[in-house]
Amino acid sequence: MRLVYACLVCLSLLVPTAQAADIERIEPANWWIGMQHNRVELLVHGKGIATASPRLSRAGVAIVDVQKTDNPNYLFVTVEVAADAKPGELAIEFVDAGKVVATHPWRIDAREPGSAQRQGFSNADAIYLITPDRFANGDPSNDSVAGMREAANRNNPNGRHGGDIAGIRQHLDYIAGMGFTQLWPTPFLENKQPAYSYHGYAITDLYRTDPRMGTNEDVRALSREARTKGIGLIMDIVLNHIGSQHWWIRDLPAKDWINNGAKFAPTNHRRTTLQDPHAAPADRAAFTDGWFVSAMPDLNQRNPQLARYLIQNTLWWIEYAGLSGIREDTFGYADTQFLSVWAKAVLDEYPNFAMVGEEWSINPAVVAHWQRGKVNPDGHVPYMPSMMDFPIHLALRNALVQPEGWETGWMGLYEMLANDFLYPDPGALVVFAENHDTARLLAHVDGDLALWKLGMAYLATVRGTPQFYYGSEVLLRGPKERNDGLLRADMPGGWAGDAADAFTGNDISAAQRDAQDYTRALFNWRKRNALLHTGKLTHFAPADGVYVYFRHDGPRGVMVALNKNAESASLSLDRFDAFLHGRSAREALSGKPVALGETLTLPAKSAVLLEIE
């Protein structure tokens, strides 16, 4: 087969008008045998290619549709791959006026065994979120790459610092040892932007890993190696926008590929317009069709070719990289109907897969609108299994710093959790105290380590899947007011010559070691205790600065008592008799037995975690 393919390419070069360079791209460059989505629409880009007709000759592979747009430099070619097709390379010829004017390779591959039934992340997992550019520099040779516009400059908090996939791979044992079982890196795809490219969200090639991060094969190697250590890989997908230096912008596939006529018009960020029965249509359109910033052109997913491109791109990365999950950025900003079609397409292909959407709203009714199983008054049918729990995120942060009151402090958190009736599956939500877009929790609590530990204890024990932000375990703080470049600080020890090393513990402070040890013990305990994954949650109204809840299933349980007071508290246990009567207790992290008498002493500003039997 390779000989046949080589001959086809050579023959095409003998024809005077045949120029392989006429085809600049075919995306995706391959597909797999045995996919539910056995028809794949190829985006073909080449000067004047729309006048040509594609053809191929391969058993089990057929061209079933060809579509053109208003741009003569594009064709959209639908290829059907039969279940009995054989893997290998093939050549797609493009014929114009009876002559082969271009030939381009394409490939079909065999799927990994069990790929369709892969298990996505769940509430048995704990997610470790990293900003790859700021985590570890494993390969200094790729810090600055010719043609990528922005070179590394570690002195610039808003510039690239050199972290890469090699650095992540070198520290997988550390991540696993801390008790984390899923890894979510912010996007590592190509960002050929002139500035602020480190964060990854202004993607300029949806099928290419940024060479300053590594290669596509490096991503696949990271995923495979992580799995051997009990860690799944979650990919950060962006459906709403691209970077202004994306190759499409120089030659749009269609005039309506980008919203607002490809001219910058800012989004109003009024996300409630999608659920509000009184919302003005103009406001709703301004939300979904507006751009975040001028450097991020807003995609029009109502264009059917673009919609299929984005769906296929997601499926391609799941299959290619062996992903265990997707975090979908700026969920809700994209076209509403498309979001359902996209999510359903992914779950049709991978029924046990996991996806979580980012809907940055503190209103649980708005977040719940997007979760699979929600019956919405407007008729919208969502398919997202999980959403980021922004309402609990804010309520937790407020609870840690507000004085106790009728609706403030622990009571605000208690009342927010009571809104779980709005969600079809609250246990599937992803809970977090901080992320790459918020001030770090330590800054929020003004450096109070005890309050920080209270927040981490809640994160590890409440319902849902916890997400932890890298570096917090060694007290990376950053400013209290949001400053992206500073809150996404370099992980100590990730660069040669760093004064301290979080990965080995060398030269970190006593407070950093304390926080790291606590995090490690907390999340390894969570990993071992199934009650914290699927146990029911019963909470008691906070009183006197103390919030108590239980995770339970039958006679076994976990008691969580959060004392925010600056002094120790004596907690009367008669209120919790239904969970404690006739049972024994031990400290969750130390294993020491605890007497369950009439009262329980709670140290100042501390979380008491008890295993009950």
Catalytic residues, by residue number, are 329, 358
Measured CA to CA, the distance from residue 53 to residue 99 in angstroms comes to 10
Buried b (16+ CB within 10 A) or exposed e, 37-70: beebbbbbbbeebbebebebebeebeeeebeebe
Measured CA to CA, the distance from residue 367 to residue 380 in angstroms comes to 13
C-beta contacts of 308-314 below 8 A and 24+ residues apart: 308/41, 309/27, 309/41, 309/43, 310/239, 310/338, 310/342, 311/37, 311/341, 311/342, 311/345, 311/346, 312/28, 312/37, 312/40, 312/41, 313/27, 313/28, 313/206, 313/207, 314/237, 314/342, 314/345, 314/346
Measured CA to CA, the distance from residue 78 to residue 80 in angstroms comes to 7
Measured CA to CA, the distance from residue 92 to residue 56 in angstroms comes to 5
Spatial contact of 178 and 128, defined as CB atoms under 8 Å apart: yes
Spatial contact of 321 and 223, defined as CB atoms under 8 Å apart: yes
Cis before 211 (ω within 30): no
Alpha helices in 469-548 (DSSP H): 484-487, 510-528, 531-534
Spatial contact of 316 and 344, defined as CB atoms under 8 Å apart: no
Q: Is 510 exposed, middle or buried (0-12, 13-18, 19+ CB in 10 A)?
A: exposed
Spatial contact of 291 and 301, defined as CB atoms under 8 Å apart: no
Q: Which amino acid is at 310?
A: L
From the list 317, 180, 169, the residue with the least C-alpha distance to 239 is: 317
Mention every residue, 6+ apart, whose C-beta is less than 8 A from residue 516.
Answer: 178, 473, 474, 502, 505, 508
Rg (CA), the chain: 26
Spatial contact of 43 and 73, defined as CB atoms under 8 Å apart: no
Give me the phi and psi of 209, to 5 degrees please.
-70, 140
Mention every residue, 6+ apart, whose C-beta is less than 8 A from residue 48.
Answer: 22, 72, 73
Spatial contact of 604 and 561, defined as CB atoms under 8 Å apart: no
Q: Which two tokens stand for residue 69?
A: 């747009």
Q: How far is CA 432 from the centre of its chain?
A: 13
Q: What angle do CA 390, 371, 38 make, to 5 degrees?
A: 125
Q: How far is CA 586 from the centre of its chain?
A: 36
Residue given tokens 């507000």 in the structure block: 402
Measured CA to CA, the distance from residue 126 to residue 431 in angstroms comes to 10
